[in-house]
Structure 1
Amino acid sequence: MTTVTPYLCANGAVDALEFYVRAFGAEETSRWTDPDTGTIGHAEFVVDGARFYIADEWPAGGVYGPTPGRTSVSLVLQVDDVDAFFDRAVAAGATVDRPVTDSPHGRGGWLFDPFGHRWHITGVVRPMSADELQQRVGDEYVIS
């Protein structure tokens, strides 16, 4: 099976890891720290079985974290209890982009973490045919 592991960058990866532990219940599994600067060159963490990598910004290599409130990538995280997970993240310092609501494809909400990454927290959705999804969406979109 081919997988994709998001490799996040943060201005303050130590603080970001602490946030993910508090907000998402993350488990840190590996950390490589520069002994001279204290910055993280590479770390790994897991949230509900999903693996992520993270490092501090590395300007010499052209690697920067996102601009808060403006990013080209969103991370979709499926969890068992959307409301509890979302509320815990907001209580830990995440900013609501779109509150948790029901939609044709399930329940979910969008938030930004304090480091500029955008997350879609969604529930596990049962598979639907294109026809069934089209019925739920109506005329708003054409599903193919």
Structure 2
Amino acid sequence: MNKPSSDYPAFSPYLSVRDAARALDFYVAAFGATERFRLLIPHTQTVGHAELLINGQLVMLAEENPQWGNKSPSTLGGSPATFCLFVPNADAALERAVAAGATVRSPTADQFYGFRSACVTDPFGYTWMLQHQIENVSPAEMQQRWMAMSSGSAEGCGSN
């Protein structure tokens, strides 16, 4: 097995978005991202590839290009993936994301699995769960709490 370069983790998301330059600005404003670099497509001056760090974790993105197989949530009618972003304070993170242009999917609340979390959709169609831990809960206790909930289903980003 080959090891990844020291500058790259073994796994990182690669987002396809409409208006990648605006997306980079959004992620900086909403999540405190740091842009590593961007490469522009010469004839269009759109972002062909960019890298940023969110809480020290690598996220790559590019302008949507269906000819290359890169389709954004806008083209697909939504995203089946949810990104889970651990933050120091979920309430503050929700406020910051909304101020930057995100839409609230679920407000901040304490969850049965021991986290305080909120869920937003960014202006590019991706869903982000913003959360911090409030207690340690074992898997067995999580199961008991889940079963005790009146509906038997967990609240979360996908339920709204």
Q: Normalising TM by the smaller chain, what interval?
A: 0.7 to 0.9
Q: Structure 2-normalised TM-score?
A: 0.80
- Equivalent residue number for residue 59 of structure 1: 66
Which 10-residue stretch deviates more, 121-130 or 99-108?
A: 121-130
User: If each structure's strand is expressed as a fraction of its own residues, which one has the higher value?
Assistant: 1
- Equivalent residue number for residue 130 of structure 2: 121
**Aligned Cα RMSD in Å?**
2.1
In 2, the alpha carbon distance for the partners of 1:126 and 1:31 equals: 39
Gap runs ≥5 in structure 1:
none
State the number of aligned residues: 141
1:107 aligns with 2:143: no
Letter in 1 for 2:139: A
Alpha-carbon distance change, 125 to 38 in structure 1, aligned in 2, over 3 angstroms: farther
Alpha-carbon distance change, 118 to 138 in structure 1, aligned in 2, over 3 angstroms: same
1:20 aligns with 2:53: no
Say which of 86, 89, 101 aligns to 1:81. Answer: 89
In 2, the alpha carbon distance for the partners of 1:124 and 1:45 equals: 25
Which 10-residue stretch deviates more, 24-33 or 129-138?
A: 129-138
- Equivalent residue number for residue 40 of structure 2: 33
Deviations 1:25-74, CA, capped at 9 Å, x for gaps: 11001211112211111111111122100000112112111038722111
Q: Structure 1-normalised TM-score?
A: 0.88
Alpha-carbon distance change, 129 to 48 in structure 1, aligned in 2, over 3 angstroms: same
Say which of 131, 139, 142 aligns to 2:140. Answer: 131
Deviation, structure 1 residue 93:
0.5
Q: Which runs of at least 4 in structure 1 moved beyond 4 Å after TM superposition?
A: none
Gap runs ≥5 in structure 2:
4-8, 154-160
Deviation, structure 1 residue 123:
0.9
Deviations 1:65-106, CA, capped at 9 Å, x for gaps: 103872211111111111111100001100001111111121
Does the 8 Å CA contact 2:82/2:129 hold for their aligned counterparts? yes
3-state secondary structure, aligned to 2:67: helix
